[in-house]
Structure 1
Amino acid sequence: MNLQLTVQEAAIVTATKNNSHSFVNPEFLKCSGIVPKNWNLAQQPSYGQTASQVTFTDENQKTISIIAEQNRIIFLQQIGSSTLESLPIAGMAHKYVQTLPNVEYEAVGINPRGYVSFAGSPDAARLYIAETLLSPGAWQESGDSPMLASLNLVYKFQRAPFYLGITEAALRNEDETSTPIVMFSGSFSYELSGDSGAEKINSLHNCIDNWQVDLETYSDIINQKFLIKRTENVSVIPNVLAMSHSI
């Protein structure tokens, strides 16, 4: 049986020079139409000197966060079992840029993230990286305990480079046990083209519109290149830790 990856989270990250994180508050986001008025706050907004974060719950009870920092805006969406026919954060990112066109936008990242669970053995995730993704050798045998490894790969596509990080981790379960996992964190990193601000904004919109092909490419690489030969019972589980998202 071929394994299948279920994307659990996606982020759209825009890099900026002069972004004001004060705009990220529930009132502005709803009044400007960036966020639907019927969405509810999932938790109290967080406001700091250098960053703000507002998290909503949509009509499907999925969480969507907007995080504004001095040099980037992050639109982060839980996907789970949702269909990939739509990605609300893409529309939100478009609307944010239309509402705040004077921000100096520099780049954009389409960043999918998923986990693969290796519940059968406490060493299965480590062995997947050490034996399936890496070549065996004496170089793995130094030290007083088994070697731990993470991989950073770069795939060059005409539209943008794709960065893929592969890391062993552990997920804590509700019963206080932990499940070994391998995390696949991807990022399609786009540099904006154009000389004027208007040209760069147009380029930014075009990059955001690539979200569907980017997510399909991410899933295809993992499904067809990394998981297709394995027959273990592997499931992809959602990200439950707060993690930074880089372009």
Structure 2
Amino acid sequence: MNPTVEAREINFILGTQETQPILANPKMLEYSGVVPGEWKLAQTPIKADNLLSLEFENRTGIVVQPHLIAFQEIIKGKSIDTMQIPDVTSKYVMAMPNLGYQQMFTKIIGHVPYIGKPLAPVRYINQTLLTSGEWMEFGKAEVESAVIFRYRLETSTLHLTVNQGTYRTGDEEIIPIVAFFAEFHHDISAETTAEIQQKILQAIESWQINFKIYTDLINQKFLTPDKNQKKTHGFSFN
């Protein structure tokens, strides 16, 4: 059986020309109706110079910098129908229309675990995604690589980064993984503030389409054996 990617987290990231007002007054999220009143903080907000991080008990989070705000939600273990952060992001954009939005992208983080196969992730990248050569044999250990793919889609540009790493489970087990980081960059350029706002809202609404693109691309193109490739495909490495 072929492995499949485990999507773990989704982020909606907005870049603005104006300074984020939430940085100075986090309560605005609640007062404006962006964050539901029943949401409870999982821990004390993290505040540092030009940074605010809020983590909620429902495994959502908001990270704020002077000209950037990121809305996050853990996907693992949740049904798509129960996802809340897309709606919260939309409410924020509607409540704060005049921040001079300059960029918007959807980020999906996931990985493929290789339990008991510590060398499998690096070999998958080196022997499946890259061409062999002397540059791959330099040094005292197998070279660690990362590959970036850029895809032009109908409504966005997808940047997909593939690298090897590890994942720590709840019981402190360290599992080797191939990580897949996707960023869907949406074109929000327009002449008026209302048009920019509408483009952002449409991009947020398309998150399920982007999520399907992410899983289908990885499962069907990266993790399905290519008949023209040698048998030592990534998912069979020891």
| Distance (whole Å) between structure 2 residues aligned to residue 29 and residue 216 of structure 1 | 30
Listed as ranges, the matches of 1:136-215 within 5 Å are: 136-173=132-169, 178-215=174-211
* Segment of structure 1 superposing worse, 174-183 or 10-19: 174-183
The aligned counterpart of 1:42 is 42
The aligned counterpart of 1:29 is 29
Q: Is the 8 A contact 2:155 2:187 kept in 1?
A: no
| Distance (whole Å) between structure 2 residues aligned to residue 163 and residue 224 of structure 1 | 17
Q: CA deviation at 1:2?
A: 2.9
Q: Is the 8 A contact 1:24 1:68 kept in 2?
A: no
Q: TM-score, normalised by structure 1?
A: 0.85
Q: TM-score, normalised by structure 2?
A: 0.88
> Unpaired segments of 5 or more residues in structure 1?
234-247
The aligned counterpart of 1:113 is 109
Q: CA deviation at 1:176?
A: 5.6
CA RMSD of aligned residues (A): 2.1
| Distance (whole Å) between structure 1 residues aligned to residue 41 and residue 181 of structure 2 | 27
| Distance (whole Å) between structure 2 residues aligned to residue 67 and residue 42 of structure 1 | 14
Cα deviation digits, residues 31-65 of structure 1 (max 9, x gap) = 3221121121111112233121111122xxxx111
Q: Is the 8 A contact 2:23 2:50 kept in 1?
A: no
Note closer, same or farther for the CA distance 1:225–1:35 as it changes in structure 2 (3 Å cut).
Answer: same
Is 1:130 paired with 2:126?
yes
The aligned counterpart of 2:228 is none
| Distance (whole Å) between structure 2 residues aligned to residue 86 and residue 173 of structure 1 | 23
Q: Give SS of 1:85's match.
A: helix
Q: Is the 8 A contact 2:2 2:235 kept in 1?
A: no
Count of residue pairs the alignment pairs up:
229
The aligned counterpart of 2:78 is 82
The aligned counterpart of 1:245 is none
Is 1:67 paired with 2:63?
yes
Higher relative contact order (CA 8 A, sep 6+): 1
Q: CA deviation at 1:68?
A: 1.2
User: How high is the sequence identity, in percent, across the aligned residues?
Assistant: 28
Cα deviation digits, residues 2-55 of structure 1 (max 9, x gap) = 322231100000111113242662x32223221121121111112233121111
| Distance (whole Å) between structure 1 residues aligned to residue 212 and residue 206 of structure 2 | 10
| Distance (whole Å) between structure 2 residues aligned to residue 5 and residue 24 of structure 1 | 38
> Unpaired segments of 5 or more residues in structure 2?
226-232
| Distance (whole Å) between structure 1 residues aligned to residue 235 and residue 136 of structure 2 | 24
Q: Give SS of 2:7's match.
A: coil
The aligned counterpart of 2:17 is 17
